[in-house]
Amino acid sequence: MSTSTTAASDALGARQSDSRVSPHIGDITSWRRDIHENPELEYDVQRTAEKVASLLRSFGADEVVEGIGRTGVVGVIKGQSTSSNLCIGLRADMDALPIIENTNLEYASKVRGKMHACGHDGHTAMLLGAAKVLCETRRFNGTAVVIFQPAEEQGAGGREMVNDGMMDKFDIQQVYGMHNMPNLALGKFGIRPGPMMAAADTIDVTLTGKGGHAAMPHLCVDTMLVAAKVISALQHIAARVTNPVDSVVVSITAVEGDNDSYNVIPNTVKLKGTVRTLNPAVQDEAESQVIKLITKTAEAYGASAEINYERNYPATINAVNETKFAAAVASQVVGADNVDDEYPPLLGAEDFSYMLIERPGAFIFIGNGPSAALHHPQYNFNDDAIAYGCSYWISIIETGMPAS
């Protein structure tokens, strides 16, 4: 019997055993598809937030607070007892992407140019499903806080909710996040202690030389050539400065001269790019190397450089104990063979990182099965993952704050 057959049967067994989620799968799937049809961007997630808040109220959540982090929603669900004084936060994201959907699904986006291409529709639906079961059963001693954030893709909605005082206001002690992962098999989870996703920094550079006739380069400082030297010099950081066992990516993604002709050397050239790192020390070193290499390279060729280096989402760093706990909970749901607790980190970024800076917790990947990549116009969240995701959330609460 192949490993994958074992995995599938183990996972199926676990899924069938979760009798409390199964009756709601139809509802949860229809919420997911409704959100998919009506994608909203960044902080403009009013319809989705309204749907989340009204469903939480209909489940009987003890408290539903809207407008945290501008359009975020928080639901509070008290267990059968709260004598433990424990409080665990579970977080989902609600925003879509500015992508033209190309899936031909019957519930494809009704808004051209907006699409749930990262599966946040599924994340929101799974957390709603878990909230429904938790409200019904309340088999825990403590408080579950369900967090629905806006602006994950762009705009740092997670940071905005933290800055609104969410962690203290609801007395959240630990916080957990989850993201679907295309091509990780359905019914599998992946997690690791330490860095799970990267810090994403942006670089904006303006190189100034001396423009002029393209046939008389000796009278100019050729900014386009300086840009080429800068782009190639920056690869020195990954190739020769950073320890090969550490990760760093420096990508220049846009080059723009200040004219659009065949025979003019531009006076200025603008570059844009991103720097990805998993470790704060490597991030510090990469930042100082980027600035040094650009400044000195420009200078060496007689040009000057203006650099704006901005740190955006920090690395998503899983706390050691909470990661062990999350992996154990995932193992309860799908069996230990289906949980990779040394899943390789990714150099994408995730603004759940801001919540993990405030409180210990862990971010886990849930298998989406074979599918187009995240942010691809043909991507779709796999509704067959709902049972696993909901069961994981419920188990985090019931195992983390057991009823006596």
Q: By CB under 5 A, is residue 126 in contact with Zn ion? A: no
Residue 371 near residue 380, CB atoms below 8 Å: yes
Q: What are phi and psi of 135, to 5 degrees?
A: -65, -35
Q: Which residue's CB comes closest to Zn ion?
A: 118
Q: Which is nearer to Zn ion, 59 or 379 (CB)?
A: 379
Q: Which is nearer to Zn ion, 118 or 181 (CB)?
A: 118
Smallest gap, in angstroms, from Cβ of residue 375 to Zn ion?
Answer: 6
Q: By CB under 5 A, is residue 118 in contact with Zn ion? A: yes
Counting DSSP H helices and E strands in the chain, the numbers are 11, 16
Q: Which is nearer to Zn ion, 233 or 349 (CB)?
A: 349
Angle subtended by helix axes 120-137 and 386-400, to nearest 10:
50
Q: Which is nearer to Zn ion, 178 or 401 (CB)?
A: 178
Angle at 367 between CA 364 and CA 372, to 5 degrees: 120
Q: By CB under 5 A, is residue 45 in contact with Zn ion? A: no
Smallest gap, in angstroms, from Cβ of residue 36 to Zn ion?
Answer: 14
Smallest gap, in angstroms, from Cβ of residue 154 to Zn ion?
Answer: 9
Burial 212-246 (b: 16+ CB within 10 A, else e): beeeeeeebbbbbbbbebbbebbeebbeeebeeee
Smallest gap, in angstroms, from Cβ of residue 61 to Zn ion?
Answer: 25
Give the interface segment with Zn ion, choosing from 114-122, 128-136, 166-174, 252-260 (CB under 5 A). 114-122
Q: Which is nearer to Zn ion, 121 or 287 (CB)?
A: 121
Judged by CB under 5 A, how many residues of this single chain contact Zn ion? 1
Give the interface segment with Zn ion, choosing from 116-124, 262-270, 290-298, 383-391 (CB under 5 A). 116-124
Burial 377-386 (b: 16+ CB within 10 A, else e): eebbbbbebb
Burial 81-90 (b: 16+ CB within 10 A, else e): eeebebbbbb
Q: Which is nearer to Zn ion, 118 or 128 (CB)?
A: 118
Nearest to 252 by CA among 280, 237, 230: 230
Smallest gap, in angstroms, from Cβ of residue 152 to Zn ion?
Answer: 6
Which residues make up the interface to Zn ion (CB under 5 A)? 118
